Amino acid sequence: MNETHYHILIVDDERDITDPLASFLSRHGFRTSIAHDGVAMDRALAACSIDLIVLDIMMPGEDGLSICKRLQQSVYPPVILLTAMTDETDRIIGLEVGADDYLCKPFNPRELVARIKSVMRRSERLPQHRKLSKGRVQFDRWKFDLAERELRDVEEVVIRLSSGEHRLLVALIEYAGTTLSRDQLLDLTKGETARMFDRSVDNQISRLRQKIEVDPKKPKVIVTHRGGGYVFAANLTYLD
């Protein structure tokens, strides 16, 4: 899709932010809609084809973090959070609940335009996949509940996963059979959060293989692709 056709939904309760921002984005070729709370956002999503949501965190009623987490339960557009919070932990929480990027207030609208274009390029590069936020799958000798950070083998022995390992495994399963580059895996696991807790995708893959592969030196579940990247190669059974 040409960037001039992107439809951006701005969700913020402050009209002195939404109105000039909508005008600025329109001048740069974007279609824009405005919602001042979560209820209005839901109406806009039901009525229009929205390509990306610019979402303020601090709003009365349902806040932006709660909205972002709720959106994860269905197919939803990419989300850029607007936050007045400067604490690094708060920004990490935003990424962990599903945001694709964040921008701290006050911000330069030109930077928002650049971030919108960047997020859209990333989302359009990724192939179609099955969105899995919950449910159970079986592969190799493992059963995996996607909402839990643990695996169970055939003898019901539990293997605990770190938050980074859990996000990585879910991403690989969602794109099972598709080779994903390191950059794509960073994006899918909410890049900045992954970088903060796990400096290298390769190191995280190695740790995950140690837990799930029969022979980590000859992996059969998470296979390295010769051209770069990784693919989840095991047969999957969706249990529910």
Judgement on whether residues 15 and 118 belong to the same structural domain of the protein: yes
Q: Do 147 and 182 belong to one domain?
A: yes
Kindly state whether residues 10 and 111 are assigned to the same domain: yes
**Which contacts (CB < 8 Å, 24+ apart) does range 80-84 have?**
80/52, 80/53, 80/54, 80/55, 80/112, 80/115, 80/116, 80/119, 81/55, 81/56, 81/57, 82/12, 82/17, 82/54, 82/55, 82/56, 82/57, 82/107, 83/56, 83/57, 83/58, 84/57, 84/58
Q: pLDDT tens, position by position, for the chain (240 residues)?
A: 445 578 999 999 999 999 999 999 999 999 999 999 999 999 999 898 899 999 999 888 999 989 988 887 666 788 999 987 666 666 677 777 778 888 888 899 999 999 998 888 777 666 655 565 568 899 999 999 988 889 999 889 999 998 888 989 998 998 888 888 877 787 777 644 444 444 478 888 999 999 999 999 999 999 998 767 899 999 999 887
Model-wide pTM > 0.85: no
Full residue range of the structural domain in which residue 188 is found: 136-238
Task: Output the domain CATH number for residue 71.
Answer: 3.40.50.2300
Q: Is residue 24 part of a domain?
A: yes
DSSP assigned state of 4: G
Do residues 42 and 72 both lie within one domain? yes
Domain final position from 125, 160, 190: 125
pLDDT tens, residue by residue, 64-100: 989 988 887 666 788 999 987 666 666 677 777 778 8
Helix residue spans in 29-181 (DSSP H)? 38-47, 64-71, 88-96, 109-125, 163-174
Is 120 found in the same domain as 146?
A: no
Which of 106, 125, 144 delimits the end of a domain? 125
- 147 & 94 share domain: no
Please check whether residues 115 and 150 belong to one and the same domain: no
Q: Kindly state whether residue 108 falls inside one of the protein's structural domains.
A: yes
- Taking CA atoms, 195 is separated from 96, 116, 133, 198, 238, in Å, by 13, 21, 22, 5, 30
Q: For residue 228, is it within any domain? A: yes
User: Same domain for 105 and 166?
Assistant: no
φ, ψ of residue 206 to 5 degrees: the values are -60, -45
Q: Does residue 152 sit in the same domain as residue 67?
A: no
| Residues 116 and 15 placed together within one structural domain of the fold | yes
* Same domain, yes or no: 203 and 97: no
> What's the rounded Cα separation, in Å, for the pair 164 and 198?
7
Report the SS3 class of residue 193.
helix
3-state class percentages of the chain: helix first, strand second, coil last, to nearest 5: 40, 20, 40
Could you tell me if residue 47 is inside a domain? Answer: yes
- Spell out the long-range contacts of 154-157 with Cβ–Cβ below 8 A and sequence spacing 24 or more: none
Split into its structural domains, the chain has a count of 2
- Residue 130 within any structural domain of the chain: no
Q: Return the CATH number at 226.
A: 1.10.10.10
| Residues listed for the chain | 240
Tokens of residue 234, six digits: 């095991």
Boundary of a domain, candidates 125, 149, 166:
125
Same domain? For 120 and 167 the reply is no
Note whether residue 184 is domain-resident.
Answer: yes
Residue 131 lies in a domain: no
